[in-house]
Amino acid sequence: MAALIEFLKKYNYWFIFILLEVASFVLFFRFNSYQGSVWFTQTNSVAAKINKIYTDVEAFVHLDEVNSKLTAQNSVLQMQVSQLRDQLKDATRKLSINDRHILDSLSGYTMISARVVSASIVKNENYIVIDKGSADGVKPEMGVVGGGGVVGIVRMVNSHYSLVLPIINRNSRISCRIRRTGYYGSLLWDGGSIYYANLVGVPQYARAKRGDAIETSGYSTVFPPGLFVGKVCDIKHAPDGLSQQLVVNLGTNFGNLRDVSVFENLHKQEIQSLIEMNDSLNNKL
Residue 54 is classified by DSSP as H
Q: What is the dihedral of CA 180, 185, 190, 194, to 10 degrees?
A: 40
Mean per-residue pLDDT for 27-31? 62
Q: Where are the domains of the chain?
A: 109-267
Task: Say if residue 215's pLDDT is above 90.
Answer: yes
Of 100 and 114, which is predicted with more confidence?
Answer: 114
Q: How far is C-alpha 278 from the geometric centre of its chain's CA atoms?
A: 37
Q: Is the CA virtual torsion 49, 52, 56, 57 positive or negative?
A: positive
Task: Say if residue 41's pLDDT is above 70.
Answer: no
pLDDT for 140-177, tens place per residue?
999 998 878 899 999 999 999 999 999 999 999 999 99
Of 103 and 56, which is predicted with more confidence?
Answer: 56
Of 91 and 230, which is predicted with more confidence?
Answer: 230
Q: Please give the pLDDT value at position 59.
A: 56
Mean per-residue pLDDT for 128-144? 93
Of 283 and 155, which is predicted with more confidence?
Answer: 155
User: For the stretch 64-87, what's the b/e string if a residue is b when 16 or more beta carbons lie within 10 angstroms of its beta carbon?
Assistant: eeeebeebbebbeebbeebbeeee
Task: Say if residue 183's pLDDT is above 70.
Answer: yes
Residues contacting 173, CB < 8 A, separation 6+: 186, 187, 188
pLDDT for 222-264, tens place per residue?
888 888 999 999 999 887 778 999 999 999 999 889 989 898 8
> Which range is least confidently modeled, 59-63, 67-71, 75-79, 145-149?
59-63
Q: Please give the pLDDT value at position 193.
A: 93
Assigned CATH topology for domain 109-267: Thrombin, subunit H (2.40.10)
Q: Please give the pLDDT value at position 198.
A: 96
Task: Say if residue 100's pLDDT is above 60.
Answer: no
Q: Please give the pLDDT value at position 76.
A: 65
Task: Say if residue 96's pLDDT is above 60.
Answer: no
Q: Please give the pLDDT value at position 207.
A: 87
User: What is the share, in percent, of the chain residues with pLDDT greater than 70?
Assistant: 61
Query: Are 228 and 145 spatial neighbours (Cβ–Cβ below 8 Å)?
Result: no
**pLDDT grade for 220, boundaries at 50, 70 and 90:** confident
pLDDT for 187-203, tens place per residue?
999 988 999 999 999 99
Report in angstroms the alpha-carbon separations of 245 from 165, 200, 210: 22, 5, 12
User: What is the share, in percent, of the chain residues with pLDDT greater than 90?
Assistant: 38
Answer yes or no: pTM beyond 0.75.
Answer: no
Q: Please give the pLDDT value at position 14.
A: 72
